[in-house]
Amino acid sequence: MTTTDPRAVEEDLRQRVTDFLAAHDHTTTDRLEFLRARYDAGLAWVNFPVGHGGLGLPRSFQTQVEVQLAKAGAPDNNPRGNGIGLGMAAPTILAFGTEEQKKKFLRPLWTGEQIWCQLFSEPGAGSDLAAVSTRAVREGGDWVVNGQKVWTSSAHKAQMAILVARTNPEVSKHAGLSYFLCNMDAPGVDVRPLRQITGEAEFNEVFLTDVHIPDSQRLGDEGQGWKVATATLNNERVAIGGGGGGRESGMVGVLSKTWREHPERRGAGQHDKLMRLWVDAEVARVTGQRLRQKLAAGEPGPEGSAMKLTFARIAQEASGMELELLGDEGLRASDWTMKRPQHVDFTGRDATYRYLRAKGNSIEGGTSEILRNVISERVLGLPSEPRVDTGIAWKDLPR
Amino acid sequence: MSDLNLLYTDVEDDLRSSVRDLVAARSEPATVAAVYDGDRSVVDPLWRAIAGDLGLAGLLIPEERGGAGASAREAAVVLEELGRSVAPVPFLTSSVVATTVLLAAEPGGPADELLAGLAAGERTAALVLPLSAGPGEEAPGFTVDGEGRISGSARSVAGALEADVLLVPVRTAQGTAVHAVRADDARVEPVVSLDMTRQLADVTLEAAAGQELLGASAGGDAVRSGLEVGAALLASEQYGVAQWCLTTTIAYLKDRRQFGRVVGGYQAIKHRLADLYAAVESAGAAARHAAATTAAGDADSVVSTAVAQSFVSDVAVKAAEEAVQLHGGIGMTWEHPAHLYLKRAKADQIAFGTPAAHRARLAELVDLPVA
């Protein structure tokens, strides 16, 4: 489609979906076949290029497709079940992948045939992600990977992973990284549940022992891993901070519901706090809306970091206040010991769970402290911290 | 709650540049600061240029009533620029608040002539209420006698000093009527104000002659709507103030050195500025949302205005306070313009209802009762 008149695009898109539904009856077609056909018709993610599940349209046209298909009762690709794949791996593969890689990985990713996870963080490399010590050593046409990753959500369900590993310890830490697409069923991949603050095991530790990855599954050039990972992380912050729900859709919505349901627990001091949080959340919603309007025109930049900062603060304050509001009732918790959640639900379950889980919001996907560095350096242009880890080979860094 | 465009259109960008260029050419912090010493010579020419030369006084007035037929979105962009330059002009009080009150009058009536004069930039009006009065707090301090003569007083009125016509809300048994009174027929006493770039005045009428523009059946709603739109668009002025404070402070801290390092390189400072950036960006979105819902006549405009006033008022004050603090000693001097912005931000916080008053209003609107 070359036209740029939004109404014409909308109409053309509506017709495409109508034609697609006419050609593929979802009541008689196998779900997976239906989804593959939808991908091939360019109706998977319309902002992706033609040939890769899209039509090269602005991202803003996606909602229209989802709504029209949902109204027809068509099955979706269960996007919540593959958040990392759709939100982070896919845009990165699109940006840095070879034509062959895009052909091979994007379709099963989108249909949900392949769930993805992210092998980035390590016990010794959290905020300082570029310090990862997982090694990838070339051996013929393969890379042999050894190391330990942590905080890997969905690793126990995933078929594929995006992986950052060190391919050259002789150069400075940022320059020695490469980015890989790793098969989670490869020999040597050992996934172990990680018990967290809520008691459950939403995340995993992943031990990599002599795992072979073909060089054809390297994403971007050797040594370009940091650049590729940065693109992934910018998408992550958009995914985490973006939200996109309506008014009162987040933690403040839960808090407001509790307020309405418990008139006996109301007080003037708490009301002031509630209203401040409500306003903050509503402003964050509108700010997210504006950010998405900006993004519709371009790629996510560091501005998304500010959204995530705000989202984390509000979620933590609101969930904390809800416990106070509930009093004794708020102290009665549910047992989540070693549960494996289907979906992460920040605003679901019980109040104590929400309070504890929200603590992760300012740590996962970039701590709030790192995000403030990102904003001040990359958005505001302030000088970076004096560093002791630049201009020195990774292997010689103090540790 | 439709997905309104929260970005700026090309037309709005052009409008912004012309306002910015004009204000930069005619007013700078030193000349603005002179108003504190009684030299108001900057006010009149600047206002004439904005209202008349650029034709911005008639933005909110429909074309068929002599105006530009633009909307609250464009007026908000003008206010962002006027806030950014703490320009001492009565655009908000005359071209937004008083104009919105007048637009409630039926076309073909006595308000038409005044609207045409406002649109042409030949006349300037002010609604005679305290600057602190927010929507729903429009208790009129004036009464009218059997011969149509108006008496009463209002303290701390903004825009009255620049106005040649006063819109006076008059209390009657049937409700609030709005009368026009020539400023020459009123006692308008300047007040030494916290923010001299929007200097207040006490207005007293003693059996003054007036003309009824809105009767008791329509005047109350008109006044409320003037304050509502005023509150909505004040947020854009506050955003402009906040943006100036943030960008000026960052520029200073990239330059200022202590202990052999650029001060803006210290993490304690960087993190404060990052938080301030997040707040100011959010304030921009909130202000834009209030302007967009107001322009669209969206049912959500009352909520978005209360949200914007609650949030942006405090952000502007915070940004100005941070500007003073992070400039250190120079920020505390009269010479540096930071004080102009602090004073405007603090006065704006109280104008058209305090943040707490807007939160109280909001609580009712969104069903979160205090008890």
SS3 content of chain A, % helix, strand, coil (to 5): 50, 15, 40
Residue A82 inside a domain? The answer is no
- Residue spans of the domains in chain B: they are 10-119, 125-216, 221-365
Secondary structure (3-state) at A58? coil
Question: From CA A380, how far away is CA B274, in angstroms rounded?
Answer: 8
Question: From CA A337, how far away is CA A196, in angstroms rounded?
Answer: 9
pLDDT for residue A101: 98
Whether residue A47 sits in one domain with residue A127:
no
Whether residue A283 sits in one domain with residue A248:
yes
What is the per-residue pLDDT across A134-193, written as a single tens digit (0 to 9) for each?
999 999 999 999 999 999 999 999 999 999 999 999 999 999 999 999 999 999 999 999
pLDDT for residue A192: 97
Reading the block at residue A283, the tokens are 């402003």
Backbone angles phi, psi at A51, to 5 degrees: 95, -15
Is residue B140 very low, low, confident or very high in pLDDT (cuts 50, 70, 90)? Answer: confident
Residue A2 inside a domain? The answer is no
Whether residue A20 sits in one domain with residue A130:
no
Whether residue A284 sits in one domain with residue A168:
no
Whether residue A127 sits in one domain with residue A57:
no
Residue A89 inside a domain? The answer is no
Cross-chain Cβ contact B370/A290 below 8 Å: no
What is the per-residue pLDDT across B152-182, written as a single tens digit (0 to 9) for each?
999 999 999 999 999 999 999 999 999 999 9
Cross-chain Cβ contact A379/B277 below 8 Å: yes
Q: Looking at A223, A239, A255, which one is the last position of a domain?
A: A223
> Length of chain A, please?
399
What is the per-residue pLDDT across B225-282, written as a single tens digit (0 to 9) for each?
999 999 999 999 999 999 999 999 999 999 999 999 999 999 999 999 999 999 999 9
Decide if B55 contacts B14 (C-beta within 8 A): no
Cross-chain Cβ contact B273/A376 below 8 Å: yes
On chain B, the residues whose CB falls within 8 A of the CB of A274 are 368
Q: CB atoms < 10 A from the CB of B214, how many?
A: 28
The count of structural domains within chain A is 3
Nearest Cα of chain B lies from the Cα of A363 at a distance, in angstroms, of 16
Contacting residues for B241 by C-beta, under 8 A, at least 6 apart: B83, B84, B86, B316, B319, B320, B341, B344, B345, B348
CA distance readout (Å), A133 to A181, A211, A217: 17, 15, 20
Give catalytic status of residue A236 as yes or no. Answer: yes
> Length of chain B, please?
371
Cross-chain Cβ contact A382/B265 below 8 Å: yes
**Any CB–CB contact under 8 A between B363 and chain A?**
yes
On chain B, the residues whose CB falls within 8 A of the CB of A303 are 281
Does the pLDDT of residue B1 top 60, yes or no?
no
Whether residue A365 sits in one domain with residue A275:
yes
Whether residue A140 sits in one domain with residue A67:
no
User: Of B52, B68, B74, B70, nearest to B123 (Cα)?
Assistant: B52
CATH architecture of the domain B10-119 equals: Orthogonal Bundle (1.10)
Q: In which residue ranges of chain A is pLDDT below 50?
A: 1, 240, 242
Question: From CA A112, how far away is CA A91, in angstroms rounded?
Answer: 15
Does the pLDDT of residue B301 top 70, yes or no?
yes
Residue A100 inside a domain? The answer is no
**Any CB–CB contact under 8 A between B365 and chain A?**
no
Reading the block at residue B160, the tokens are 């009255």
Whether residue A35 sits in one domain with residue A21:
yes
Whether residue A177 sits in one domain with residue A269:
no
pLDDT for residue A300: 61
ipTM given for this complex? 0.95
Whether residue A314 sits in one domain with residue A332:
yes
Cross-chain Cβ contact B277/A380 below 8 Å: yes
Residue A387 inside a domain? The answer is no
Cross-chain Cβ contact B6/A309 below 8 Å: no
Nearest Cα of chain B lies from the Cα of A184 at a distance, in angstroms, of 38
Q: Looking at A203, A223, A243, which one is the last position of a domain?
A: A223
Whether residue A374 sits in one domain with residue A244:
yes
Residue of B255, B307, B354, B362 to mutate when probing chain A, most A C-beta within 10 A: B307
CA distance readout (Å), A318 to A258, A333, A371: 11, 17, 21
Q: At what angle do helices A31-40 and A6-23 cross, to 10 degrees?
A: 140
Contacting residues for B28 by C-beta, under 8 A, at least 6 apart: none
Question: From CA A219, how far away is CA A181, in angstroms rounded?
Answer: 7
What is the sign of the dihedral through the CA atoms of A231, A233, A236 and A237?
Answer: negative
On chain A, the residues whose CB falls within 8 A of the CB of B360 are 275
State the fold for domain B221-365.
Butyryl-CoA Dehydrogenase, subunit A; domain 3 (1.20.140)
The strand pairing partners of B214, in sequence order, are B178
pLDDT for residue A1: 46
Nearest Cα of chain A lies from the Cα of B135 at a distance, in angstroms, of 18
pLDDT for residue B220: 96
Cross-chain Cβ contact A283/B285 below 8 Å: yes
Does the pLDDT of residue B221 top 90, yes or no?
yes
**Ordered DSSP codes for B48-89:** HIIIIIS-GGGTTS-GGGTS----HHHHHHHHHHHHHTT---
Decide if B319 contacts B280 (C-beta within 8 A): yes
Secondary structure (3-state) at A222? coil
Nearest Cα of chain A lies from the Cα of B341 at a distance, in angstroms, of 21
Q: Domain range for residue A29? A: 7-76
Q: Looking at A190, A223, A256, which one is the last position of a domain?
A: A223
CATH number at residue A127: 2.40.110.10
Question: Residue B2: closest CA among chain A residues belongs to which residue?
Answer: A246
Whether residue A366 sits in one domain with residue A294:
yes
The pLDDT > 90 percentage for chain B reads 96
On chain B, the residues whose CB falls within 8 A of the CB of A278 are 362, 366, 368
Size of interface A-B (CB pairs under 8 A): 130
Decide if A194 contacts A150 (C-beta within 8 A): yes
Residue A367 inside a domain? The answer is yes
Residue A86 inside a domain? The answer is no
- In CATH terms, is domain B125-216 a member of 3.40.930.10? no
User: Of A337, A328, A332, nearest to A350 (Cα)?
Assistant: A332
